[in-house]
């Protein structure tokens, strides 16, 4: 187990170093050499890599890094059209592991095993709450407190520090694949894509708090108006008494 953790840490550091030293195109060329897929192939076919091989997760992370610089596109599913956050994650898992994830981040949050923030490993999916609600943004954890994501319109796929706003809006993590090692040091990859009973919390409603604020304000306004009307009625009653 210790050997596996050291291997994953080295992999994470290597990935991050690669993105700094080499341009995204070079990394893309490397992953194409590994997978046997040409850079202009945007089809949904999986790469020629067995998901049970020992470097399957590393291959998946390299695949994700190779897409850095591609523009965010709402509803986009391929590098040619641009990709949104869930389209990016879905493309990477399909291309590198042959795993067909649901289309939206909210649906992906219902797949795989829950993971504690303290037990995050490279390849885990991390979910965030936004103004649109629970689990409406997603990224792939790379290790070393960094993740890769397709952020928003006007930005490109990039590596981001997992802190600040992201930590505050973090809603949970899921593990779809896990690398295991036996006593002889041999590794294998276990898939959790068929687990659907460990969904992440989905009570966050985003913009609903604003509507609630308006509702409270409206109630106060109504109460003030009623009070004024009540006061005017009392004043009118007093005047009538004086006449008598």
CA 82 to chain centre: 17
Total count of residues recorded for the chain: 244
Q: What is the mean pLDDT of residues 95-100?
A: 94
Asked if the model's pLDDT at residue 28 lies above 50, the reply is: no
Long-range contacts of 90-94 (CB under 8 A, 24+ apart): 91/67, 92/60, 92/63, 92/64, 92/67, 92/140, 93/60, 93/176, 94/44, 94/46
Catalytic residue at 193? no
Give catalytic status of residue 149 as yes or no: yes
Which residues, including other chains, have CB under 8 Å from residue 173's CB and lie 6 or more apart? 114, 115, 116, 117, 120, 124, 125, 126, 127, 141
**What pLDDT was estimated at residue 210?**
40
Strands 187-191 and 177-181: antiparallel
pLDDT at position 37 over 70: no
Q: Answer whether 0.85 is exceeded by the pTM.
A: no
What's the pLDDT band for 68 if we cut at 50, 70, 90?
very high
Quickly tell me which residue has 């997760």 as its tokens: 57
Range with lowest mean pLDDT among 10-24, 67-81, 169-183, 213-227: 213-227
Helices in the chain by DSSP H: which ranges? 2-21, 24-35, 56-65, 85-97, 105-108, 165-168, 208-243
First to last CA, the chain: 96
pLDDT above 70 covers a percentage of the chain that reads 61
Q: Once rounded to an integer, what is the mean pLDDT over residues 177-205? A: 87
Would residue 168 show up in a list of annotated catalytic residues for this protein?
Answer: no
Report whether pLDDT(145) > 80. Answer: yes
Checking if the pLDDT of 180 tops 50, the result is: yes
Least confident of 23-27, 144-148, 153-157: 23-27
Give the domain 2-191 fold.
Answer: endopeptidase fold (from Nostoc punctiforme) (3.90.1720)
Average pLDDT over residues 115-124: 95
Q: Which of 63, 85, 193, 211 is catalytic?
A: 85
Task: Give the tens place of pLDDT for each residue, 121-131.
Answer: 999 999 999 99
Marked catalytic residue, from 63, 137, 168, 196: 137
Is residue 67 within 8 A of residue 140, CB to CB? The reply is no
Of 135, 137, 132, 136, the closest CA to residue 205 belongs to 132
């Amino acid at each position: 187990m210790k050997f596996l953790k050291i291997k994953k840490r080295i992999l994470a550091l290597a990935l991050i170093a690669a993105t700094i030293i080499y341009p995204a195109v070079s990394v893309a060329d490397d992953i194409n050499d590994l997978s046997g897929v040409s850079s202009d192939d945007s089809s949904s076919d999986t790469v020629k890599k067995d998901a049970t091989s020992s470097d399957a997760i590393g291959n998946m992370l390299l695949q994700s890094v190779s897409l850095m610089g591609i523009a965010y596109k709402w509803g986009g599913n391929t590098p040619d059209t641009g990709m949104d956050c869930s389209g990016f994650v879905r493309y990477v898992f399909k291309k590198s592991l042959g795993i067909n994830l649901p289309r939206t981040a909210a649906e992906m949050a219902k797949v795989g095993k829950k993971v504690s923030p303290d037990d995050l490993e490279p390849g885990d999916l991390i979910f965030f709450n936004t103004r649109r609600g629970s689990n409406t943004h997603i990224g792939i954890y790379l290790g070393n407190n960094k993740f890769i994501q397709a952020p928003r319109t006007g930005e490109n796929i990039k590596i981001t520090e997992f802190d600040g706003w992201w930590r505050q809006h973090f809603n949970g993590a899921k593990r779809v694949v896990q690398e295991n090692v036996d006593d002889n040091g041999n590794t294998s990859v276990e898939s959790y894509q068929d687990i659907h009973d460990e969904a992440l919390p989905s009570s966050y409603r985003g913009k609903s708090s604003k509507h609630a604020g308006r509702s409270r304000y409206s109630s106060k306004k109504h109460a003030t108006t009623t009070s004024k009307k009540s006061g005017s009625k009392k004043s009118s009653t007093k005047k009538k008494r004086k006449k008598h």
